[in-house]
Amino acid sequence: MDYIEILPRREGTVVRNIRSFSAAEILDCGQCFRWENTAENTWRGVAFGRVCTLVEEEGALYFPHASVEEFKRVWFDYFDFGRDYNEIKALLCQDKNAARAVDFCPGMRVLRQEPWEALCSFIISQNNNIKRIRGIVARLCEFFGEPLGDGLYAFPAPQRLTGLQKEDLEPLRCGFRAEYILHAAQMVAGGDIDLQAMYTMNLDSAREQLRRIRGVGPKVAECALLYGMGRVECVPVDVWISRVLERMYPQGLPSEMASVGGIAQQYLFHYARHSPAFAGDA
């Protein structure tokens, strides 16, 4: 396991002994929609109502505006530094297909995002592409989120959206998804859906609850649980993973991967989307 060092530097924090980490692989792979590559080796994003700048250095990460206390409280969990990705990769690499995916993107991680943002973002993701999802999410935050400075906004809480009508979301250009966003906000804000409980709830019960929200089917529920509640056993199946399963795993993912199926899915998803070799895989 990487036993990272967390040290103060000027007004920020430097994290050393990082091995399983690539910002490009993690932040531009379709699991999150609020990060931008602003300069060479530099990324800026918003999560949990905070702006974060991340600079990749040789064997280290620099967070120039985050204190050590903030890093430990927010970003350590967000970037899943408490999980042993070396152990996970060793497990996955026992399978020849998964080994190719891990070799293609060895710095991949699954983020631990804010549950409401993950749910809402993946409702928006339905029948959509990543560029359009980013645009809709950005407009949602600009119109209804709290300003954080420098043109950035927090993700709006569900309570902020509960009094709105579909017409109020027309500037987002989110189409039929407006009804689903508003219903989700009402269910969460009203306490009918307890997202915090889903971190530990029986998984089938959590899926059933999420699917009470209009527009939330199996894939969106799995995405919300995986990316928002840390349920790494959940495996969202979209068109790319359908191709992976058909071509590589017609009987389904091996049982040995079950406990980390969502992480395996993320390696395989990125490999299928971006590796020219995928077209030739048997």
- Tell me whether residue 89 is one of the annotated catalytic residues: no
The alpha helices in 43-129, defined as continuous H runs, are 68-70, 76-78, 85-92, 96-104, 115-124
Side-chain half-sphere CA neighbours of 100 within 13 A: 17
Q: What whole-number distance in Å separates Cα of residue 59 and Cα of residue 21?
A: 9
CA 17 to chain centre: 23
From the list 72, 89, 131, 219, the catalytic residue is 219
Residue with tokens 């109502």: 49
Residue with tokens 């027309």: 170
Q: How far is CA 246 from CA 222, 241, 242, 259, in A?
A: 19, 8, 6, 21
Residues annotated as part of the active site: 219
